[in-house]
C-alpha cells in the first residue's frame, strides 16, 4: 500500500499538485540557483546587483512556495501526503536532492577551486560574493563565506516556512525565531564585523561565540589560543568564555532545560536541520538496531575528540612551554584526574540510569582515554608524537573524517535519505556530552499523559532523532533519552495530546509503569510499586 502512485508522471505526485503560487515560487527559486550556477562559468559584470537578485530570488522563491502551501489552510498539523511525495519519501526527487547536496559538499570541502577560490584572486561563484563580503568584513569572500551566506539564507527562508507550518504552536515558532537569530547574528554577521577590528597589531580568530568545543573541534588549537592571548583583554575574555561555556554555562543550562537549549534553540547545525531539513525528519531510522549503532558511534566520536584535543593542546604546551603558564605535564595530569573524577561521580550517583552496555562502554572509553594520556605523558617532550601518531595528523584526520565527511557530506548531504539529524544523532560530540548530561542530571523530560496514548505512531515517525517515542508513551512512561533534542514535534503531531516537554523535579522523572493510569487503582498500585 505504500507504493500508491496516484498519477502518471514518472516523478511521483509533486508536479501535479503544485498550485500556481507554489509553481511561481519554484520557478523563482530555481531562477536564483541558475544565476549562481551561471556565475561558476560565465563572468558576471555587476556582481553586487546579480548577487542581490540571486539571494532574493532564492529566499523569495521559498517564501512564495510556502505561502502557496500553507496560506489558506486552517491551523493544524500539515503532514498530508508526506509519504506520497517523492522528495520526502526517498523517491526520485529525494535521491536527486541527496546526490546534488552531497556533491556540493564534496566540492565545498575538497575542490573549492571549482567554486572559484584562487590564490591570485577570486573568480566564479566566490567572486560573485565578494561585494557582500567586502561590505561586511572588508575582505574578499572565501568558499566559507559563500557557504555561510547560503546557509543563513536557507535557515531564514525555511525558518519562515516552518513558522508558517506551525502557526498553531508557539513553542515551535519561538525556537525557530531563536535559531534564525543566532545563525544570522552570532554565526554570520558578528564574526564578519569583528574581522573589521583586525589590524596588523591586533587580530582575533573568526569566532562564533555559540559554537563551542567540541562541536568546534579547533576551538583550542594552538594558533587560535595564541591569537586570543595576543589580542589582550578582549581575546582573553573570549578564551575564558569558551572554557566557561564548556564547563559551566552549558552544563547548567542543560540541567535546567535539557540539551534542547542548545540543539533546538541555538545551534547552527540544528538550525539548518530544523528548518531546511524539516521535510525529512520522518526518514530517521527508529529501529532498536539503529539506536545501538547510534550509541556506539556518537560516543566513539566523543572519545576521539577528547583524545585529539588533549593531544593537540599538550603538544603545543610541550614545545612552547615558556609561552604558557600551564605545562604539558600538569595539563595531562589534570585531564586524567578530571575524567577519572567525573567518571567516579557518575558511577557513584547514577549507575542505575546507565544501561548495561552503556556501562561497559563507559568503562572501556575511560580506560582507553586514560591509557592514551598515560602513554603520551611518558613519551616525553622531545617529539610531537601522541601515542603513535603526530598530533597534527590526528587533528587533520579528525577534521577530515568528522568535521568534513560526517558533519557536512553525510550530515547534510544525506538529509533526503537518512533524515535531517544524522549528524546530530550519530556524529556530534557536543550532542554526545549534552546528551549524557541530559540523561544523568537534567530536569528535562517529555511527560506522558497518563493512559491517553493510542499507539498510533505519529510521534515516533516524526522524531528526527529516531527515538521510538511511542514505545514509552504507550507504557505511560516519560521519555528521558540522551539523544532527544527537544524539538517538540512529537508533542505537536500527537493527535491525542499525550506528550509535553517540560522541566520539573528529578523525582518521578523516570517512571516505569506496568499497569497504566485509568485501570483499577489497587491493581496499579500493587503492580507499579512492586
**Binding stretches for ligand SF4 (CB under 6 A):** 446, 453-459, 463-465, 467, 469-470, 473-474, 479, 484-490, 494, 496, 498-499, 501
**What is the CA 372 to chain-centroid distance, rounded?**
29
Nearest to 38 by CA among 55, 50, 52, 56: 50
- Partner from another protein, ligand SF4, none contacting 489, C-beta within 5 to 8 A by type: ligand SF4
| Cβ nearer to ligand SF4, comparing 196 with 355 | 355
Query: Helices marked H in 18-85 — which ranges?
Result: 20-41, 47-70
Q: Cβ of 526: how many Cβ atoms within 10 Å?
A: 12
Please pick, from the candidates 495, 504, 506, 512, the single residue that binds another protein as defined by CB under 8 A. Answer: 495
- Is-contact 96 511, C-beta < 8 A? no
Q: Which stretch binds another protein (CB under 8 A): 54-62, 136-144, 222-230, 488-496?
A: 488-496
Question: What is the C-alpha to C-alpha distance for residues 398 and 405, in angstroms, rounded to an integer?
Answer: 10
Please pick, from the candidates 285, 454, 510, 528, the single residue that binds another protein as defined by CB under 8 A. Answer: 454
Number of continuous H segments (helices) and E segments (strands) in the chain: 25, 4
Torsion of CA 520, 522, 524, 526, to 10 degrees: -150
Question: What is the C-alpha to C-alpha distance for residues 487 and 260, in angstroms, rounded to an integer?
Answer: 7
Binding to another protein (CB under 8 A) within 505-524 occurs at 514-524
Binding to another protein (CB under 8 A) within 270-289 occurs at 287-288
Nine-digit cell string for 53 = 537578485
Binding to another protein (CB under 8 A) within 170-199 occurs at 170-171, 174
Question: What is the C-alpha to C-alpha distance for residues 238 and 205, in angstroms, rounded to an integer?
Answer: 10
| Cβ nearer to another protein, comparing 102 with 461 | 461
- Partner from another protein, ligand SF4, none contacting 165, C-beta within 5 to 8 A by type: none
State in angstroms the smallest separation of the CB of 462 from another protein. Answer: 8
- Partner from another protein, ligand SF4, none contacting 285, C-beta within 5 to 8 A by type: none
Question: What is the C-alpha to C-alpha distance for residues 98 and 414, in angstroms, rounded to an integer?
Answer: 5
Binding to another protein (CB under 8 A) within 401-440 occurs at none
Should residue 81 be labelled a site residue for another protein when binding is judged by CB under 8 A?
yes
| Cβ nearer to another protein, comparing 163 with 317 | 163
State in angstroms the smallest separation of the CB of 66 from ligand SF4. Answer: 22
Question: What is the C-alpha to C-alpha distance for residues 119 and 200, in angstroms, rounded to an integer?
Answer: 21
| Cβ nearer to another protein, comparing 22 with 407 | 22
| Cβ nearer to another protein, comparing 11 with 471 | 471
- Is-contact 205 224, C-beta < 8 A? yes
| Cβ nearer to ligand SF4, comparing 246 with 446 | 446
Amino acid at each position: 500500500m505504500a507504493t500508491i502512485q496516484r498519477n502518471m508522471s514518472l516523478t511521483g505526485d509533486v508536479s501535479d499538485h503544485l498550485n500556481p503560487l507554489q509553481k511561481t515560487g519554484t520557478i523563482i527559486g530555481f531562477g536564483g540557483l541558475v544565476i549562481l550556477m551561471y556565475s561558476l562559468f560565465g563572468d558576471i559584470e555587476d556582481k553586487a546587483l546579480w548577487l542581490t537578485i540571486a539571494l532574493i530570488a532564492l529566499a523569495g522563491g521559498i517564501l512564495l512556495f510556502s505561502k502557496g502551501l500553507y496560506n489558506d489552510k486552517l491551523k493544524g498539523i500539515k503532514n498530508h501526503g508526506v509519504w506520497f511525495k517523492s522528495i520526502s519519501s526517498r523517491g526520485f526527487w529525494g535521491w536527486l536532492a541527496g546526490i546534488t547536496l552531497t556533491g556540493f559538499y564534496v566540492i565545498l570541502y575538497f575542490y573549492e577551486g571549482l567554486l572559484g577560490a584562487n590564490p591570485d584572486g577570486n573568480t566564479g561563484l566566490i567572486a560573485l560574493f565578494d561585494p557582500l563580503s567586502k561590505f561586511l568584513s572588508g575582505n574578499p569572500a572565501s568558499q566559507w563565506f559563500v557557504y555561510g551566506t547560503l546557509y543563513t539564507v536557507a535557515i531564514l527562508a525555511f525558518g519562515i516556512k516552518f513558522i508558517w507550518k506551525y502557526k498553531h504552536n508557539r513553542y515551535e515558532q519561538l525556537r525557530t525565531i531563536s535559531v534564525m537569530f543566532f545563525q544570522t547574528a552570532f554565526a554570520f554577521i558578528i564574526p564578519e564585523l569583528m574581522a573589521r577590528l583586525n589590524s596588523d597589531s591586533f587580530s582575533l580568530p573568526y569566532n562564533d561565540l555559540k559554537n563551542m568545543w567540541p562541536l568546534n573541534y579547533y576551538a583550542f588549537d594552538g594558533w587560535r589560543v595564541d591569537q586570543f592571548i595576543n589580542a589582550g583583554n578582549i581575546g582573553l575574555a573570549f578564551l575564558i568564555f569558551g572554557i566557561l561555556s564548556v564547563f559551566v554555562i552549558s552544563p547548567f543550562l542543560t540541567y535546567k532545560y535539557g540539551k534542547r537549549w542548545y540543539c533546538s534553540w541555538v545551534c547552527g547545525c540544528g538550525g539548518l536541520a530544523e528548518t531546511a531539513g524539516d521535510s525529512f525528519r520522518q526518514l530517521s531510522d527508529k529501529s532498536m538496531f539503529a539506536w545501538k549503532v547510534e550509541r556506539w558511534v556518537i560516543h566513539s566520536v566523543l572519545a576521539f575528540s577528547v583524545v585529539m584535543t588533549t593531544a593537540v593542546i599538550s603538544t603545543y604546551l610541550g614545545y612552547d612551554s615558556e609561552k604558557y603558564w600551564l605545562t604539558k605535564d600538569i595539563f595531562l595530569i589534570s585531564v586524567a584526574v578530571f575524567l577519572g573524577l567525573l567518571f567516579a561521580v557518575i558511577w557513584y550517583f547514577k549507575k542505575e540510569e546507565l544501561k548495561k552496555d552503556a556501562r561497559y562502554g563507559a568503562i572501556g572509553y575511560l580506560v582507553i582515554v586514560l591509557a592514551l594520556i598515560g602513554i603520551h605523558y611518558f613519551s616525553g617532550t622531545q617529539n610531537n608524537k601522541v601515542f603513535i601518531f603526530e598530533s597534527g595528523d590526528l587533528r587533520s584526520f579528525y577534521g577530515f573524517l568528522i568535521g568534513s565527511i560526517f558533519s557536512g557530506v553525510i550530515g547534510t548531504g544525506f538529509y533526503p535519505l537518512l533524515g535531517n539529524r544524522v549528524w546530530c544523532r550519530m556524529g556530534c560530540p557536543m550532542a554526545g556530552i549534552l546528551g549524557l548530561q541530559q540523561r544523568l542530571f537534567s530536569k528535562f523530560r517529555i511527560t506522558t499523559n497518563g493512559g491517553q496514548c493510542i499507539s498510533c505512531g505519529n510521534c515516533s515517525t516524526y522524531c528526527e532523532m529516531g527515538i521510538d517515542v511511542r514505545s514509552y508513551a504507550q507504557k505511560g512512561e516519560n521519555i528521558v533519552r540522551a539523544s532527544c533534542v527537544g524539538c517538540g514535534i512529537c508533542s505537536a503531531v500527537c493527535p491525542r495530546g499525550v506528550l509535553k516537554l517540560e522541566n520539573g523535579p528529578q523525582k518521578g522523572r523516570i517512571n516505569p509503569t506496568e499497569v497504566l493510569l485509568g485501570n483499577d487503582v489497587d491493581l496499579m498500585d500493587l503492580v507499579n510499586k512492586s
